[in-house]
Structure 1
């Protein structure tokens, strides 16, 4: 199956603000729209998405403008890699699954799934909007890199 691991796009932050309720910034909305266009033109179109229920992640998903089914999941908010992997394992019957969540968990999961990392400096920092596309074999847990991209790679 194809597996897409995406970190939410850039969000606003204000002192004292509840982290769970943070909105995407205007830049983040644009990032997510560009990432959605890239997913479609690259043929990486998920048939299902698992999305943290934090405001910035479901706003990122909405801005992707995908038509797949989506599960908003409270357990994905700031989740550890094991929790993220369990969510993926429960949905491994899909042809292409998108997991949209947060750092550090999403970056740590990406590093554990892939044997040969992409030659992209941003892979290790997994900035907002970072997107890893894998050919993942759920039965063995192995994954092969298809692509890794950040919003900065997509231009303005």
Structure 2
């Protein structure tokens, strides 16, 4: 199974938190990452997105169908992310568009076996794969990508 953890792009500060919008820089980050992802993701990828406006704006340039998942809202825990994705037993790749610190904690839980304060930068993603859900040795980090690494 492939699990892609994509942190929302740069957003404005303010309240209410769920209604924060992307900055101009965040919109550029989202477009760059969406272009890169569109070329990499298989057609059968399931996309789950936090209901926060900034995550919806981050995924929009990808132009693919997605499902809003309340369990990915700010304040969710790393186990919530893994449950939503059906990690590691899912049959299709899953892209999660969410928030820090949850995504970094989920990455640490998968790779290191326990939640830790790993940081995923704004607009960046971690792509984790496991060939066999029963074989922890089949786990590998497929990609770590940030918008500033993508040359246009």
Same fold (TM over 0.5): yes
Greater mean deviation of Cα atoms: 105-114 or 138-147: 138-147
* Residues 1:102 and 2:85 aligned together: no
The Cα offsets for residues 26-63 of structure 1, whole Å up to 9 and x where unpaired, read as: 1111101100111133x234621010000000111102
Aligned pair count reads: 143
Match of 1:126 in 2: 120
SS in 1 for 2:66: strand
Aligned to 1:119: none
Under a length normalisation based on structure 2, what TM-score does the superposition of the two structures give?
Answer: 0.83
Task: Give the match for residue 145 of structure 1.
Answer: 141
CA distance in structure 2 between the partners assigned to 1:131 and 1:45 by the alignment: 16
- Supply the RMSD in Å over aligned alpha carbons: 2.3
* TM-score, normalization by structure 1: 0.81
Instruction: Give 3-state SS (helix, strand or coil) of 1:6's partner.
Output: strand
Flag structure 2 segments of 5+ consecutive residues without an equivalent: none
Gaps of 5+ in 1: 116-122
Aligned 8 A contact 1:92 1:138 in 2: no
Query: 1:52 touches 1:101 (CA, 8 Å); kept in 2?
Result: yes
Q: For 2:79 and 2:135, how far apart are their aligned partners in 1? A: 13
1:52 to 50, 53, 59: 50
Equivalent residues in 2 for 1:26-37, closer than 5 Å: 26-37=24-35
